Amino acid sequence: MNGASRMETATRAGFAARGLMYLLVAFLALRSGRTEDGAGALKLLDSDVGRAVLAVMALGFLAYGVWRLAEAAIDSEGHGSNAKGLAVRAGGAVSGLIHLGLGVYAAKLAAGRPAESGGAEGGAATALSLPGGEGLLMVAAAALLATAVVNLLKAVKGGFLKHLDAQAAGQAWVKWVGRGGYAARGVVFAIMALFFWRAAQAASAAQAGGIDEALDWLTGWPRLLVAAGLGLFGVFSLVEARYRRINDPQVLARLQGAGRRLVS
């Protein structure tokens, strides 16, 4: 197995890890009303048997994070440099950083080491400790809002299907599972953007919030609907783990083109 094949396998493990994480978040919210972010959901696997799963998930999260950051940096999927393309790439970069953090967190749990996740509030507190911290939180809010818009557009237009093999993309249930999942993520990211904007305005990290706070902010049937949608996104992520086109010819051609530009 060459380097590209190993990276593809690890990235597919990342899609599967993301899927399991979202399924856990949805299960907790729907079964017991307990809201957790990704890190909180991973703690459910912190046991002797679960640590082996966490080790595999850690590798997958790290590979997925690297892949998303590289994708955003060199535009390997051809989103372009216009406003829409930059918004999509910015969302990909944010996703990459988040999954790198989840990879480190899962690795610590797998090694049996105490692992604390600062979550959204911890990240906001770190930003506020830096010069211009309020501005950094506003940038984070803008990036989260852009990510929300991208997810909602995917839900409406079904653009996510173009990244799947035809075998999966032609299935109606895959289309509707993906639409429900992306719509729920769009709502969650929009609420998180509001939280980070408020944190910037008040210069208070306590105002920031992640997936768990976003679900808590919702009540009644909207919370149940969004939680169910996150579960659908978990299922769609498992579909991507099998059918996502990662090393398709167009992406490889763009990577080669980027490489030629770097050495020229």
Q: What is the pTM of this model?
A: 0.84
> Could you tell me which residues come within 8 angstroms of residue 35 by beta carbon, excluding any fewer than 6 positions away?
28, 29, 211, 212, 213, 215, 216
**Distance (Å, rounded) from C-alpha 103 to C-alpha 8?**
17
CA atoms in the 13 A half-sphere facing the CB of 127? 25
Render pLDDT for 149-206 as a digit per residue (tens, 0 to 9): 989 999 999 989 988 999 899 999 999 999 999 999 999 999 999 999 999 999 888 8
Residue of higher predicted confidence among 253 and 144? 144
Residue 215: partners with Cβ closer than 8 Å, 6 or more residues away: 29, 35, 188, 223, 226, 227
Contact status, residue 123 vs residue 115, Cβ threshold 8 Å: no
Neighbours of 176 (CB within 10 A): 13
pLDDT at 75: 64
> Which of the pair, 56 or 68, is modelled with greater confidence?
56
The letter for the amino acid at 207 is Q
The arithmetic mean of pLDDT across residues 75-85, rounded, is 68
Task: Sort 86 into a burial class: Cβ within 10 Å, 0-12 / 13-18 / 19+.
Answer: middle
Give 223-242 pLDDT, tens digit per residue: 999 999 999 999 999 999 99
- In the chain, domain spans: 3-263
Looking at residue 258, what is its pLDDT? 45
pLDDT digits (tens, 9 = 90+) for 38-65: 888 888 888 877 889 899 999 989 988 8
